Chains A and B, each alone.
Chain A
Amino acid sequence: MKPFAYVRATSLQQAVDAHACRPGSRYLGGGTNLVDLMKHDVETPTTLIDISRLPLNRVEELPAGGLRIGATVPNADLAAHPLVRSGYPALSQALLAGASGQLRNVATTGGNLLQRTRCPYFQDVSKPCNKRDPGTGCGARDSTYRDLAVLGHSEHCVATHPSDMAVALAALDAGIELYGDTEGPRQVAATAFHRLPGAHPEQDTLIRPGEIVTAVVLPPAAPGAVSLYRKARDRASYAFALASVAAVLELADGRVRHVALAFGGLAHRPWRATVAEQLLAGAPLTDENVLRAVDAELAQARPLRGNAFKVGLARNLARDSLAALAQACGGEPPERLP
């Protein structure tokens, strides 16, 4: 690890000011990703600006409904929050499906959103990687490593985004609050926050240099809506998603009034399944309709050497999740096609 200076921020403004005048700085949240990457020399900050003690550690109910989750709220506390468990079960479930008890105690909301890919080519400085070192090429694309993207990848990068929480936030239409030295405060939709790699895989998100995630905002949960998160992985616990789905459903007279479907583990960002959602909107939630919609979404998939299995996995996860939610909405589970 390279030597670095350390600043403990006491206010938001002081943190962004410190970042502005110290080139090569990084913000330190819980450090569970950043310190790990510093040990690998993937991250070599000159200064760590510790924002973990800023007063951004509260979950507040908003006057018009919804929640504002401070950026330093630990993952464990957010998952256990009564209003999250009752109103946004997909978010609680996604958090609890990630990492381990001791990591969730330390990991923060902001850090979780901004965690980097687990692609082993990114984590190994002896390997080419356009995300870590633009222009060096992508070592992963033709490798035997299988936990790579099937959707939205580019010739420059095939990495996936590892966060479970971010997938739930995409399905829940959350907003991300940012604060920057020059930008001031701004809010962006969670669905727009993470990027596809294109020609610039070094940029995971549309955050600008020096900006801080200050909060995540959840809109009010619709009274009849239900949500869940399901994750498929190589072992039952303490493993990243091979594929996952966050789904929100509201039915009216057996027809879909609102559906949101987001996939994890398939792309460089949480993949909001807008094609499937449009096909399902207003339609009866039959197995046939669900499969038609999900298959239309996944028709865009371009599997790589070893990961075509993810397409079928995602299809089954989405199908089962929507069936479970239909039942939770008080309806009959759709009769399954053979």
Chain B
Amino acid sequence: MHQAGSGSDPGGGPPHSAPDGAHRSRVTLRVNGTDRDLDVDHRVTLLDALRETLELTGTKKGCDHGQCGACTVLVDGRRANSCLLLAVAQDGAEVTTVEGLADADGTLHPLQRAFLAHDAFQCGYCTPGQLCSAVGVLGEAADGQPSHVTGTAAPSGPVTLTTDEIRERLSGNLCRCGAYNGIVEAVAEVGAGMNGADVTAPSSSAIPPRPDVIV
């Protein structure tokens, strides 16, 4: 399958018998539920494969160096910066981008609805990354994974997403417009599983949730 790696054949010969110098490989990515076969230059990142080859331009390029989170997607269910992943190394992976968050019938993901309701963006550039990252946060917290603010002595089991937890867990997603208050409210709302519940810190009450006028 890999031009550059006969060693990936089970029991294959020594790796130096692989055709040397090949700089491209075929890969299959399962993107938003559909298998996509690609012939990629090894230098192509998952981010560029999504945007340039698959024309899924929802995922954004901010810094291209892992420093802003705009490119966050879910890879095999885990959130990751697609700008630092090489497409060739992701062969066989299941990738979910912002385009794949809504249901097939167009029903928005609860986080997308909450982002609209809480005015969780201004220009919207960081939003696809924020959304994918927040999907990851909900899963990680439900799975009992601690954060820097959880403390190692905390009991195991699902972590309650307080505003401190959300801010820490989403710190890898920068928002140049400073829509953080709305983002935290939106994630808290979905995390609590009901409107407005469990959002205790002052920041959340500073801006009351707007009625859902945009949808």
Q: Which residues of A contact B12 (CB under 8 A)?
A: 10
Query: Residue B140 at the A interface, CB < 8 A?
Result: yes
A105 touches B78 (CB 8 A): yes
Cross-chain contact of B7 among A14, A30, A86 (Cβ < 8 A): A14
Interface size on A, residues (CB 8 A): 47
B65 touches A105 (CB 8 A): no
A36 touches B171 (CB 8 A): no
B146 touches A14 (CB 8 A): no
With both beta carbons as reference points, the residue of chain A lying nearest to B168 in the complex is identified as A237
Q: Known: A14-B7, A100-B172. Contact between A6 and B42, CB under 8 A?
A: yes
Query: Residue A17 at the B interface, CB < 8 A?
Result: yes
A66 to B152, CA, bound (A): 18
Q: Known: A80-B146, A101-B172, A106-B84. Contact between A8 and B43, CB under 8 A?
A: no
Q: Which residues of B contact A238 (CB under 8 A)?
A: 171-172
A8 to B78, CA, bound (A): 21
Contact with A along B39-76 (1 / 0, CB 8 A): 00111010000000000000000001110010010000
Q: Which residues of B contact A31 (CB under 8 A)?
A: 84-86, 89
Q: Which residues of B contact A28 (CB under 8 A)?
A: 86, 89
Contact with B along A1-44 (1 / 0, CB 8 A): 10111111110001001100110000010111001101100000
Query: Residue A103 at the B interface, CB < 8 A?
Result: yes
Query: Residue B88 at the A interface, CB < 8 A?
Result: yes
Q: Which residues of B contact A105 (CB under 8 A)?
A: 78-80, 136
Contact with A along B135-176 (1 / 0, CB 8 A): 011001001111110101100100000000001111111000
Query: Residue A52 at the B interface, CB < 8 A?
Result: yes
A6 to B143, CA, bound (A): 34
A5 touches B146 (CB 8 A): no
With both beta carbons as reference points, the residue of chain B lying nearest to A34 in the complex is identified as B84
A36 touches B84 (CB 8 A): yes
B88 touches A6 (CB 8 A): yes
B148 touches A97 (CB 8 A): yes
The distance from the CB of A40 to the nearest CB of chain B, in whole angstroms, is: 8
Q: Which residues of B contact A86 (CB under 8 A)?
A: 152
> What 8 new A-B contacts, CB under 8 Å, besides A4-B23, A17-B14, A80-B143?
A5-B20, A7-B5, A76-B140, A89-B152, A97-B148, A101-B171, A102-B79, A105-B136
Complex A-B: 29 CB contacts under 8 Å: A5-B21, A5-B23, A6-B5, A6-B22, A10-B7, A18-B7, A22-B16, A22-B20, A28-B86, A30-B84, A31-B84, A38-B43, A39-B65, A79-B145, A79-B146, A85-B146, A86-B152, A92-B152, A96-B148, A96-B150, A101-B79, A101-B133, A102-B172, A106-B80, A106-B84, A106-B85, A236-B168, A237-B171, A238-B171
Which 6 pairs show the lowest CB-CB distances between chains A and B? A100-B172, A237-B171, A18-B15, A89-B152, A21-B16, A3-B23
Give A contacts to B, CB under 8 Å: 1, 3-10, 14, 17-18, 21-22, 28, 30-32, 35-36, 38-39, 47-48, 50, 52, 76, 79-80, 82, 85-86, 89, 92-93, 96-97, 99-103, 105-106, 236-238
